[in-house]
Amino acid sequence: MTVAEKELTRAETTLAQSSQRSSHSTRTLSLTLQVLEQEIFVLRNAMERMYREQATFQSELVIDLSRQLDVKINEYMHYSCSLRA
């Protein structure tokens, strides 16, 4: 397993653990946003490390992390808008 694949696995494990924590109890909207912020931070850092290792944005691993990051940012925006409503 390459370093890039290990990094992707580590990021996915961290996100899975974070998602499990938020689904086991009823959390306030504010706490949900905090969890999403943490997930976005982890994914962004993983994507940046992967880019530095792969030296291209066209790497499948970089693209996969970017897609996951997009999903989390969209979730964050959805909950953030709900908080303002």
Residue 10 has what pLDDT? 75
Residues 47, 69: Cα–Cα separation, whole Å: 9
The pLDDT of residue 26:
42
Q: Is residue 25 very low, low, confident or very high in pLDDT (cuts 50, 70, 90)?
A: very low
More confident residue, 36 or 82: 36
The predicted pLDDT at position 11 comes to 74
Name residues whose C-beta falls within 8 Å of residue 65's C-beta, 6 or more positions apart in sequence: 8, 11, 43, 46, 47, 50
| DSSP summary character for residue 57 | T
Q: Which two three-digit tokens encode residue 10?
A: 């580590």
Give the total residue count for the chain.
Answer: 85
Distances (CA, A) of 48 to 26, 27, 45, 60, 69: 32, 30, 5, 14, 11
Name which residue leads in pLDDT, 52 or 22: 52
Q: Does the structure show a pLDDT above 50 at 20?
A: yes
Reply yes or no on whether the pLDDT at 33 is more than 80: yes
